[in-house]
Structure 1
Amino acid sequence: MAEVRLSGVNKFYGGVQALHSITLTIEDGEFVVFVGPSGCGKSTLLRSIAGLEEISDGTIHIDDRDVTRAAPSERDVAMVFQSYALYPHMTVRENMDFGMRINNFPEADRKRRIAEAARILQLEPYLDRKPGQLSGGQRQRVAIGRAIVKNPKVFLFDEPLSNLDAKLRVQMRVELEALHRDLKATMIYVTHDQVEAMTMADKIVVLNAGRIEQVGSPMELYHRPASEFVAGFIGAPSMNFLTVDRREGQAMLDGASLGAAPAGTVKLGIRPEHLVLRPAGQGQLAATVSLTETLGGDAYLYVRLPGGQTLVVRAEGDTTLDHGAQIGLDLPPHRLHHFAADGRTLASGGVAA
């Protein structure tokens, strides 16, 4: 497998800049996820690595070889798309064999690679079926198998699970994690789903408007987001943000002090799971429940503060709190994130950024 290095990568579509000075190193064998909202540039960046998009400036190296101007076929990468892109008139075996056959791989080698990919992906019973006879998850496994038989230096995944139902997405996530562990391959995966990013990645690259906002492990981004954008994008439900006043070094909200705040603090952030629920009349803040969502083991309370700001609070799934209930809330200082007016993180978990 291989290291991937991008240096100063820019991409323009006419007068519109889609990628801004992307510099990034993906280590050999890493599972790296590009995540961000629609239009942030994550698929453009992936396609640039694949050679499907020609970059405007910068360089791309794969395994110490400059592939900036190399054709896709010369980069030794394999890409799995959102659509399965299988040949409907061919069997599973023929779909996996097609690329190798037109590239004149020896027949014995082709058979060996297909058999190994089918074993890894549990496709052995389906090798003689056509795509129309398979479920969505099975078809996606065939698309992945077509990539595996190439034995590429880098696997590229462009939102491969987005067409699957929720239960199947979870199953396929587990299968992809196991595949990465078995192959020890360099994998780059694009998704807009931060749950996929958190559960699968060794390293997450958060993109925003064509720029890298932050690079780090899932838990680094969860506990130490570099900006309000990252803090709001990583975590489900999203982090709560509260506009506060800073007086004499304290963050003030609805007349209550929420603790010391660095100079420049205009917002505090706290995750729903880190708020501490108290009975009415207790805690730092008073709140009124507007809506309760019960998910079984957990419930989420949507609450309103006296000044009109809103929060989401995680509670026990069997909570009886509902619309109109009065509660108290504590905001533990070590769980607070402080943000400046420009969105920059000033402190996370009580530690200056």
Structure 2
Amino acid sequence: MATVNLSQINKFYGATQALFDVSLDIEDGAFVVFVGPSGCGKSTLLRAIAGLEGIDSGAVRIGEADVTDTDPADRGVAMVFQSYALFPHMTVRQNMEFGMKVNKVDPAERTRRIAEAARILQLTDYLDRKPSQLSGGQRQRVAIGRAIVKSPKVFLFDEPLSNLDAKLRVQMRVELEALHKQLNATMIYVTHDQVEAMTMADKIVVLNGGRIEQVGAPMDLYHRPATKFVAEFIGSPAMNVFAQARVPGLRGLTLDGATAYIGCRPEHFMIQPEGTGHLDGTILVREQLGGETLLYACVSDDLTLVVRTDGDDSTAPGTRIGLEIPAHRLHRFDADGRALS
């Protein structure tokens, strides 16, 4: 395995800049997730590491080698795409073997690598089947197996689970986490799904408009977002962030002049009787999800806040409530969206 070091990466498509001075250090054996909305540059950055996209300036290092101008095949990476891209006329074994045959790997070594990858991915009983005889999850495992047999320094995943149904995505997330621990591999994973990012990553890289907004452990980003963008992107439901000017009659909150926005996670609100919290609202909708209940409280004509409560909460729509924000759960942001200490 290997470290990955990016230094001041810039990428243009004609007159449009897709990446802006991106610098990042990824430790050996880490599971790093690039996350952000569509068009933020996460897949472009991944493809730049793979060598599938040239960069206009900056440097890419994998291990001790500068691979900025190195062909993709010689970078020591293996990539798993959103599309499985399996050869339909070949068996699982042949799909996994194809790249090694092209690279003239010794037949005995090919057999050993395939057997090991099949054992790890629980595909041993499917090696002689064709892709049409496999489920979606099994096909994705074959695509991952094809990467494993390359014995790469770094695994790259470009939204590999987005074609699977919700239940299978959860199962594959667990399998990928287990695979990472088993291989102790350096893995870089791209997704737009912040739930995937939170559950899988050692380190999350949040991208926005081609720039890195914040890098950190999942719970660090959750509890200490550096910007308003990160606060509203990480978490499901997202943090409630609102301009204090939009809420008339805030009671008991002492805010300095630099504070333009206030934030609070849905689960951190404390429900109080009307008139006794920091602000009041009317419950519009109650969503009972089993283990938790989400209450949507209308605070003003153009502001509705989400409150997460116990699954057995019975607060009815139409109820007036007070909401208190504990001091240690209050997030403040300036007019540029930067977090204030």
TM-score higher than 0.5 here?
yes
* Superposition pairs of residues 72-221 of structure 1, within 5 angstroms: 72-221=72-221
* Superposition pairs of residues 257-296 of structure 1, within 5 angstroms: 257-296=251-290
1:336 maps to a residue whose letter is: L
Query: For the residues of structure 2 that align with 1:319 and 1:287, how far apart are their CA atoms?
Result: 17
- TM-score, normalised on structure 1? 0.94
Deviation sequence 1:194-222 (CA, Å, 0-9, x none): 01101111111000000000111101111
Question: Per-residue deviation at 1:279?
Answer: 3.5
SS of 2:253's equivalent in the other structure is strand
Residue 37 (structure 2) pairs with residue 43 (structure 1) = no
- Conserved 8 A contact 1:284-1:330: yes
- Conserved 8 A contact 2:251-2:277: no
Question: Per-residue deviation at 1:307?
Answer: 5.8
SS of 2:284's equivalent in the other structure is strand
SS of 2:206's equivalent in the other structure is strand
* Superposition pairs of residues 9-88 of structure 1, within 5 angstroms: 9-88=9-88
Q: Which runs of 4+ in 1 moved over 4 A?
A: none
2:35 maps to a residue whose letter is: V
Q: More displaced, 261-270 or 22-31? A: 261-270
1:12 maps to a residue whose letter is: F
**Alpha-carbon distance change, 258 to 92 in structure 1, aligned in 2, over 3 angstroms:** farther
Question: Per-residue deviation at 1:144?
Answer: 0.2
1:277 maps to a residue whose letter is: I
Q: More displaced, 304-313 or 168-177? A: 304-313
Query: For the residues of structure 2 that align with 1:45 and 1:30, how far apart are their CA atoms?
Result: 17
Query: For the residues of structure 2 that align with 1:211 and 1:4, how far apart are their CA atoms?
Result: 18
Deviation sequence 1:19-50 (CA, Å, 0-9, x none): 00011111111100000000000000000000
2:221 maps to a residue whose letter is: L
**Alpha-carbon distance change, 86 to 258 in structure 1, aligned in 2, over 3 angstroms:** farther
- Conserved 8 A contact 2:32-2:188: yes
1:217 maps to a residue whose letter is: A
SS of 2:96's equivalent in the other structure is helix
1:50 maps to a residue whose letter is: A
Question: Per-residue deviation at 1:293?
Answer: 1.2
Deviation sequence 1:219-274 (CA, Å, 0-9, x none): 111111110000101111000012115xxxxxx94223342324310110001011
1:68 maps to a residue whose letter is: T
**Alpha-carbon distance change, 307 to 333 in structure 1, aligned in 2, over 3 angstroms:** farther
1:317 maps to a residue whose letter is: G
Deviation sequence 1:156-212 (CA, Å, 0-9, x none): 000000000111111100100000001001000000000110111111100000000
Partner of residue 298 from structure 1, selected from 273, 292, 296: 292
Equivalent residue, structure 2, for 1:320: 314
1:223 maps to a residue whose letter is: H
- The number of residue pairs the alignment matches comes to 341
- Conserved 8 A contact 1:258-1:331: no
- Conserved 8 A contact 1:78-1:156: yes
SS of 1:29's equivalent in the other structure is coil
Question: Per-residue deviation at 1:320?
Answer: 2.1
- Conserved 8 A contact 1:87-1:95: yes
- Conserved 8 A contact 1:262-1:338: no
Equivalent residue, structure 2, for 1:241: 241
Query: For the residues of structure 2 that align with 1:307 and 1:292, how far apart are their CA atoms?
Result: 19
- TM-score, normalised on structure 2? 0.97
1:321 maps to a residue whose letter is: T
**What root-mean-square deviation, in Å, do the aligned CA atoms of Structure 1 and Structure 2 show?**
1.3
Residue 339 (structure 2) pairs with residue 345 (structure 1) = yes
- Conserved 8 A contact 1:275-1:332: yes
SS of 1:255's equivalent in the other structure is coil
1:49 maps to a residue whose letter is: I
Residue 305 (structure 2) pairs with residue 311 (structure 1) = yes
- Conserved 8 A contact 1:41-1:207: yes
User: Which 5+ residue runs of structure 1 have no aligned equivalent?
Assistant: 246-251, 347-351
Equivalent residue, structure 2, for 1:349: none
Aligned-residue sequence identity (percent) comes to: 66
Query: For the residues of structure 2 that align with 1:138 and 1:184, how far apart are their CA atoms?
Result: 22
Query: For the residues of structure 2 that align with 1:140 and 1:308, how far apart are their CA atoms?
Result: 44
SS of 1:259's equivalent in the other structure is coil
